[in-house]
A and B are shown apart, each in its own frame.
Chain A
Amino acid sequence: MRPLFLALALALPLPATAQDSAAILTDVVEAHVLPGYARLSETTATLAATAQAGCDPASPDLRAAFHGAFDDWILVSHLRFGPSERDDRAFALAFWPDTKGFTPKALSGLISTSDPVVESPKAFAETSIAGRGFFALEMMLFDPAFADQGQAPYRCALIRAITTDIDRNAKAIAEDWQPFAEHVTHSGGNSPYRSENEALQELYKALSTGLQFTSETRLGRPLGTFDRPRPKRAEARRSARSLRHVELSLITLRDLAMRLSADHPAIAADMDGAFDNAIARAQALNDPAFAGVANPLGRLRIEALQQSINDIRQIAANDLGPTLGISAGFNALDGD
């Protein structure tokens, strides 16, 4: 059935130097993934409870709960595999970018018909993912266009439905991670990962695609081109969280990178230095919603931040990946 083609059937490359993959996998899961999702489900519970207590979009308590839970989402938002992908939970938590404006359409659709779906968490979970999650909530709390659409009691019920749904999804991910953790740390058998190397690849990919998303999407979308900057495309600009997302993602990706490179001190030091540089640039920027993309000086500084993230990506791709024993072929890498 499977004529093995020995001449070409090369084994996966072995790590260049000794490393304890099992220890790395256990450390990432126990110290990075599980605590991150546990924190998220705590702050989403607070968010849902706060919205029940008071749903005024301008309420400082509600806004603080929104910021707290959104922060914790950004800190795990690069861990896009396994439980986060089941039933589209991650997309239902954060539908962005929204290139076709589905979120305002979904919200207006619910409001204009006073859709009773907001009364049932189960039914609401079946509605369009564009009308759920942190970006839908942000629009309800911060966008003037939604401040007086429809009737206040309905807007209140919608805000409560969104926060309850966010909490349900965060809880479902955290709960599913309990059994899934074992799949990552013990590959083979029932695990979707056939080897430690495959599990390690998944974590490495979380790092590399997390860096790519922050550079190309979180910064690339508002940057647009010099002739056509796109400040209104900045992530979570309504709540002035755009820069904060970049900073938080760098902080959490550094934590992951340090754990992945635990057995390779030279690479770890390089990555650490590159993260330091990028995080320092982000912290010095003082442009929370990237409005600066539209003026030459502001743009230059945001481009420098983007370049500093691309420097980290280079180290990850050229040094960390191959050293971990992760390599992919010319075509396998291309993805087209």
Chain B
Amino acid sequence: MTSRRHFLAGLAAASMTPLGGWAAVGAPDYLAAALFPDGSYRLAGLSAEGDILFTLPLPARGHAAAAHPQRAQAVAFARRPGTFALVIDCATGAQTARLDAPEDRHFYGHGVFSADGATLYTTENDYEAGQGVIGVWNTGDYARLGEFPSGGIGPHDMRLMPDGQTLVVANGGIETHPETGRTKLNLPVMRPNLTYLDHSGAVIEQMELPRALHRNSIRHLAVRPDGLVAFALQWQGDKTRHPPLLGLHRPGTAPRLLTAPEREQSTLQGYAGSIAFASDGKTVAITCPRGNALHQFDVETGNLTAAYSLTDVCGIGSAEQGFVFTTGTGAVGEITEGAHIMARAKCHWDNHLIPIRTLA
């Protein structure tokens, strides 16, 4: 699959970044899971131009992935309530390890490596207790080291803060149990939060939205290099209301909620799927697959600066300039001055697009 052009582009990219492990496979810039026409679920490595550099099979539908900070290694997570995560050597295409959730736990689909790459953290459901936990794994042999509470119910996305020490977890607040599928069990009493934890699991800070927004599930995260956290929301309340679906939080301060004007906001069906900062950090964007829209905001003013109509758009990541996005219809595109499609694959790109290095 890897063409000479991509290989050279990969080499060029690799020469600019000290990530030797990734260079060998043509230095993919992004990872994304997808459903392919033959019915297989696969993890794909993508170039910055949106071309598929490699694909690797997954046993079932994937969700997100985490890229190791140094090794050419990725962990692909099963879609909730899956119980597997695969460690994949992206240089050889081989599965090198498999993580199985312990008894009475399942994965939520997201995870993050520690700064030194020695530890992997995974968001999990302790479903008998109805509480979120963070699983801790040794990345040498991918043995489970332990777990600690996530600080809420339904932890979903999780990121490492720029200090390399603090984990930030989006506790979506929604209780589910594998015996009742994806049925939401606690909507009237849900209380999502953003929890900052240290490596031992000690809670450093928790942020909750105002009471009137307790049905706004905090699900996905992006972190700017200066520590500003952006979160994407999924509204579980009265659908005749159209609350904000994007928030910004700096530890120790109150959150800021960003919204499009009502006319635009009301088309989003209360659902944001992914979030990213542009590489310059000045803009932040959410994808809204139910409203078929990508909304871009100015971080400073909080104003909507662009709204693109894109069918089933969901994956988004920062690019050298602006953003790269993926859609459930197989498109990979970029947002710079405007939006344009760079590549189309015969697959359904799944929820998330994972940048494997910080493009500065």
Contact = CB atoms under 8 A, between A and B. Distances in A.
B175, B314, B349 — most chain A CB neighbours (10 Å): B314
A81 B331 CA distance: 33
B238 A330 contact: no
B106 interface: no
Given A85-B239, A91-B187, A332-B312, A3 B180 contact: no
Contacts of A99: 130, 175, 177, 185-186
Contacts of A95: 188
Interface size class of B (residues with CB under 8 A): 35 or more
B189 interface: yes
A7 B79 CA distance: 30
Contacts, number: 127
Interface in B293-343: 306-314, 327-329, 331, 338-339, 341
A127 interface: no
A224 B179 contact: yes
Interface string A303-336: 0000000000000000000000000111110111
A221 B351 CA distance: 29
B189 A336 contact: no
Contacts of B348: 330-331
Interface stretch (A209-217, A271-279, A294-302): A209-217
B81 to A, nearest CB: 10
B188 A91 contact: yes
Contacts of B239: 81, 85, 192
Contacts of A284: none
B290 interface: yes
A332 B290 CA distance: 5
A329 B351 contact: no
Contacts of B331: 8
Contacts of B156: 336
A226 B175 CA distance: 22
Interface string B220-256: 0000000000000010011110000000000000000
Contacts of B264: 2
A4 B179 contact: no
A331 B328 contact: yes
A97 B187 CA distance: 10
Contacts of B109: 336
Contacts of A5: 308-310, 339
B50 interface: no
A217 B314 contact: no
A17 B327 CA distance: 28
A220 B180 contact: yes
Contact of A85 (B130, B175, B238): B238
A331 B189 contact: no
B182, B187, B289, B351 — most chain A CB neighbours (10 Å): B289
A328 B80 CA distance: 20
Contacts of B15: none
Interface in B105-131: 109, 130
Interface in B144-184: 156, 175, 177, 179-183
A86 B175 contact: no
Nearest to A10: B311
Contact of B292 (A2, A9, A91, A336): A9
A88 B237 CA distance: 9
Given A97-B185, A330-B35, A332-B290, A8 B310 contact: yes
A330 B328 contact: yes
A302 B68 CA distance: 46
Nearest to A87: B238
A85 B341 contact: no
Contacts of B63: 336
Interface of B: 35, 63, 79-80, 109, 130, 156, 175, 177, 179-183, 185-189, 219, 234, 237-240, 264, 266-267, 271, 273, 289-290, 292, 306-314, 327-329, 331, 338-339, 341, 348-351
Interface of A: 1-5, 7-10, 81-82, 85-86, 88, 91, 95, 97, 99-100, 102, 129-130, 192, 194, 212-213, 216-217, 220-221, 223-225, 230, 328-332, 334-336
21 contacts: A2-B307, A2-B309, A3-B308, A5-B308, A5-B309, A5-B339, A8-B329, A8-B341, A85-B237, A86-B240, A99-B186, A100-B189, A192-B240, A221-B180, A224-B179, A329-B329, A331-B273, A331-B312, A331-B313, A334-B79, A336-B80
Which 8 A-B pairs rank lowest in CB-CB distance, beginning with the nearest? A329-B312, A330-B328, A331-B314, A91-B188, A331-B289, A330-B348, A332-B289, A9-B309
